[in-house]
Amino acid sequence: MTDKTEVNLSGVKQSKGVWLVKVPKYLSQQWDKATEKGEVGKISFGKKQGKTEVCFSLNEELTVLDAVGEKDASLQVPRDHPFTMHTVGGQTMAAFSQSDTDEISLEGMVVHRAECRPVVSDNYMKLKKLQIKESTKSPRLSQQLERAITTVFKPVANHNFNVLHDKKKKLEGKMVRAERQVVLDMLFSAFEKHQYYNIKDLVDITKQPVTYLKEIMKEIGTYNNKGAHKSTWELKPEYRHYQSAEEEVPTA
């Protein structure tokens, strides 16, 4: 991302001109259905009364529209689409492409803009109607059910999760007080990693009963009532030596 990609300017050098064509969504959807070769239709240039007329006609096989939930053979995407051509006007536009390997190349300058319009027919109108219906459908739907749902949320004597939890607790048993020194070592190593700890977290780490732990902590640490790190324990100054993640612990 930080490397600057050299832009391949060959397209512009050769003065390749491209067209920027605005295509309706349904047409581009049909194009996506094209075969491997990618042929989608034909474009023809004709001259009528001195004016150049450009028209695109869709291939036959692509005119079939897969309507949602209906096999509507009658609904077909219109075939003929004349292009409305515009000049680029004042705006300078170029097309650049970015490959998978993050290579950027300037493909060419836009020389014409065009809009692809369908020939308006009844068929087209039906198609549009369908489109509108679909778009006005709200994504959320309220529906009345005939029967109550009984497959989920059945009343249970004790939830599975709770049962497992209790078992686990029983296995562990009550927390046993370990040797003072052992606990101290555990605490110091924990405080090496972080400066502030919640008592609950300490209990978790050391697996010691709360009262015992508090006793030990009172010896070597202080409790923060206010400040940024509220209700947390930290080591007393003489015990800590924070220096870029290194800590020395004086012997108690």
Partner 1 sequence: MTSLGSSSSSATEYTVRVPKNTSKKYNIMAFNAGDRVNCSSWTQARMERDMSARRIYGEEETQEGAAGSEFGKKQREEARRKKFGIVTREFKVEDQPWILKVNGKAGKRFKGQKKGGVTENASYYIFTQCPDGAFEAFPVHGWYNFTPLAKHRTLTAEEAEEEWGRRNKVVNHFSIMLQRRFREQERGEDEEDEGEKSGKKKKKSGGRGGDLRIHDLEDDLEMSSDDSDSSMGDDGESKTKAKKDTGKGKKKKKRKSNDEAIEDSDDGDYEGLEVDYMSDESSSDEEPEKGKPSKGEDLPKGIDEASESEEESEEEKQNEEEAKEEEEEEEGKKTPVQTEKKKKKDSSGESDSSDDSDIEGETASALFMKKRTPPKRAGGRGSAGSSRTGSRPGTPSIDSASTSNTLRAAASKLEQGKRQNQGPGTDSPAAKRLKMEPSSQSPAPSGKSTPQPPSGKSTPSSSDVQLTEEAVRRYLIRKPMTTKDLLKKFQTKRTGLSSEQTVNVLAQILKRLNPERKNVNDKMHFYLTE
Of residues 32-71, which lie at the interface with partner 1 (CB under 8 A)? Answer: 34, 36-47, 56
Q: Shortest Cβ distance from residue 233 to partner 1 (Å)?
A: 10
**Residues numbered 182-221 forming contacts with partner 1, rule: CB under 8 A:** 190, 192-198, 201
Binding residues for partner 1, how many (CB under 8 A)? Answer: 73
Angle of the 180-193 helix axis to the 210-220 helix axis, nearest 10: 70
- Nearer Cβ to partner 1, position 1 or 176? 1
Binding mask 76-115 for partner 1 (x = CB under 8 A): -------------xxxxxxxxxxxx---xxxxxxx---x-
Binding mask 114-153 for partner 1 (x = CB under 8 A): x---------------------------------------
How far is Cα 129 from Cα 72, in angstroms, rounded to an integer? 14
**Residues numbered 3-22 forming contacts with partner 1, rule: CB under 8 A:** 3-7, 9, 12-13, 15-16, 18-22
Element spanning 215, H or E: helix 210-220
Pick the closest to residue 93 from 62, 114, 72 (CA basis): 114
How far is Cα 240 from Cα 244, in angstroms, rounded to an integer? 12
Instruction: Confirm or reject binding of residue 1 to partner 1 (CB under 8 A).
Output: yes
Give the pair of three-digit tokens for residue 17: 């001109």
Q: Is 54 helix (H, G, I), strand (E, B) or coil?
A: strand
How far is Cα 13 from Cα 191, in angstroms, rounded to an integer? 64
